Structure 1
């Protein structure tokens, strides 16, 4: 046993979010009452003038009735497709890691996908695996205290990291670097493999699909992710032995659809068989080509965008731009793309121009407005 892991004992987390603790335990500090949300314009100014996004919280978008109706319709239409992608990625994880593992979702988009993978493995393989949701932040790294807590409670089980989807692969790279640093510091062997439901960026090996399709949990913010905000890291709020922080939006309990999303997809698992998940193959290792990132560099050049991080690729990332950044425009592969109904609604709602860009690797890209 590595003694270094146990010199810094991490206290148990307080309950957080609206999921059952049987589905997931959030390793996050509740920041309710400790910080206020920042309006979009102020937040964007601060980010573009050197502030870090993890030090502020955006105001939660309140969806219109039309938008919520679209979420429910999309959920019904895509439930079987999402369930199949969950099954494919869950079976791959099991093949690679075996039954002695801990599922670790990256908050917050990874959390519902991690719960679905946990439920699939319980239903299909009678495996009740521990599942945690922890914070990872671009430019700041992963929550080391959360990793220490998991290893202190479950060592020597293997950790499997989970996220919702890939964009240009920024979080994949942050995770790679964080694991290298953690392993060097603690003389450990964390596997940086990231499993995702959808990998349109071609930047991970473990995925359910590479199609850039609409995952219903990408449509909304906290109301489909356990009522938890995006994660926060500020030295004045987070102590040495504390987890990264987040807000718990208890005031939105009446409009949350987190558990509805999970239950609706989980009902479809009974229709899945090994045969229906036919693209599993032990001998083929998926190629990581970073195809998405290469295509974004062409967009960056064409539009004269100074920072590639201003380009948010894929349906999930474009949705995030429209919900919590100031978008300049949205590029779509085709105006007729049925996966983009909620994108079109949000653009219409916020007056954001849409431009057809037929050579996209993704279904769409959101471009953040550059503020002078």
Structure 2
């Protein structure tokens, strides 16, 4: 027996607002610790060298206008999301088979992982285990969580899942983490990342490469099981702990997490034939992984003379997050009449952030963060 197989890792405590059958969070509950930092102070800290995973952004409940926009977006895109989820689920089924564990990358991956699990249950009667674990740029993946799953499911293949790709930073972290697992433990993992949308062209496991708004990108914890972003700090997370997260139970009355899932699931039967055909075409003719999006970002970095590429957040999902929880400098869009960016224009107007057209952009939009100095999230 390998040493890691006998390593003692405690079972996780239940947390989050999803039914236990949908997902198991491999996270340490640190709800009782004050970690939230005001927007401007957090931005200064991040850009002065404090790692973003050592504190949390202050989260606010969405305004009624913004919640209306979310509901409207959900109604318009539910079938499209269902089709993309279906394509990814069919790819996982075809490439990995029944002995697969679904591993969502918290937070954005969690609702997508649940939808993939539900699709495979409903369409193919496959009941795959599903976990949500932490991955952090600059610090890596939660190795205790990986070892826990591999102990629980000997011989299984792990399939990592996220919501979408931006410039591919998390894909790179995942590849590095898998390399480290091979070196440190002799464990070989697939570093392929399954996402609903891959506008960055950095994976071949995707539902679409169109940069459209996945409604779950609109909201923070209230569409991710009421969990915060993940936290990794030596004084809070011990060597045998999972990475940490807070559970905002006080917002249960405002939670949209299960409503989001239940809005997409009814479309699975309608889209499943098309999803199977699309997935099969991807298997027959594998899509090129060109990292085209990253080249766009490098060009923007040069044009706007930005010292740090991490201050450029590409794609609808990431731009939404810049406007919700960072200090935005300007927003670039491919065209002003793009239907996928209506909420971006609304948020930018509300925060007084200039919007510029950047013709030929791979993405629908990019958010540029105000530079203070140094590193960024």
The TM-score, its normalising length taken from structure 2, stands at: 0.97
Aligned counterparts of 2:166 and 2:260: Cα–Cα separation in 1 = 22
Question: 1:274: Cα distance to partner?
Answer: 2.3
Asked if 1:114 corresponds to 2:124, the answer is no
Structure 2 counterpart of 1:221: 220
Please state whether the residue corresponding to 1:260 is helix, strand or coil: helix
Structure 2 counterpart of 1:322: 323
Structure 2 counterpart of 1:95: 94
Residue deviations 1:50-93, cap 9 Å, x none? 11000010000331111100100111111100000000010001
Please state whether the residue corresponding to 2:37 is helix, strand or coil: coil
Structure 2 counterpart of 1:306: 307
Structure 1 counterpart of 2:125: 126
Asked if 1 retains the 8 angstrom alpha-carbon contact of 2:218 and 2:320, the reply is yes
Structure 2 counterpart of 1:176: 175
Asked if 1:70 corresponds to 2:97, the answer is no
Residue deviations 1:248-271, cap 9 Å, x none? 111111111000000110011121
Aligned counterparts of 1:61 and 1:54: Cα–Cα separation in 2 = 19
5+ residue gaps, structure 1, are none
Aligned counterparts of 2:202 and 2:102: Cα–Cα separation in 1 = 20
Asked if 1 retains the 8 angstrom alpha-carbon contact of 2:86 and 2:275, the reply is no
Asked if 1:233 corresponds to 2:232, the answer is yes
Residue deviations 1:281-312, cap 9 Å, x none? 23211110000000111000000000000000
Aligned counterparts of 1:273 and 1:26: Cα–Cα separation in 2 = 28
The TM-score, its normalising length taken from structure 1, stands at: 0.98
Report matched runs for 1:195-344 at 5 Å.
195-275=194-274, 277-280=276-279, 281=281, 282-344=283-345
Structure 2 counterpart of 1:354: 355
Question: 1:189: Cα distance to partner?
Answer: 1.2
Aligned counterparts of 2:4 and 2:116: Cα–Cα separation in 1 = 28
5+ residue gaps, structure 2, are none
Aligned counterparts of 1:43 and 1:7: Cα–Cα separation in 2 = 40
Hey, which bits of structure 1, 4+ residues long, moved more than 4 A?
Answer: none
Asked if 1 retains the 8 angstrom alpha-carbon contact of 2:232 and 2:243, the reply is yes
Question: 1:276: Cα distance to partner?
Answer: 5.4
Q: Alpha carbon RMSD of aligned pairs, Å?
A: 1.0
Structure 1 counterpart of 2:40: 41
* Alignment size in residue pairs: 371
Structure 1 counterpart of 2:52: 53
Question: 1:359: Cα distance to partner?
Answer: 1.5
Aligned counterparts of 1:303 and 1:273: Cα–Cα separation in 2 = 44
Residue deviations 1:137-188, cap 9 Å, x none? 0000000000011001011111000000000000000000000001111111
Q: Which deviates further from its counterpart, 273-282 or 89-98?
A: 273-282
Asked if 2 retains the 8 angstrom alpha-carbon contact of 1:61 and 1:324, the reply is no
Aligned counterparts of 1:6 and 1:239: Cα–Cα separation in 2 = 19
Aligned counterparts of 1:58 and 1:307: Cα–Cα separation in 2 = 21
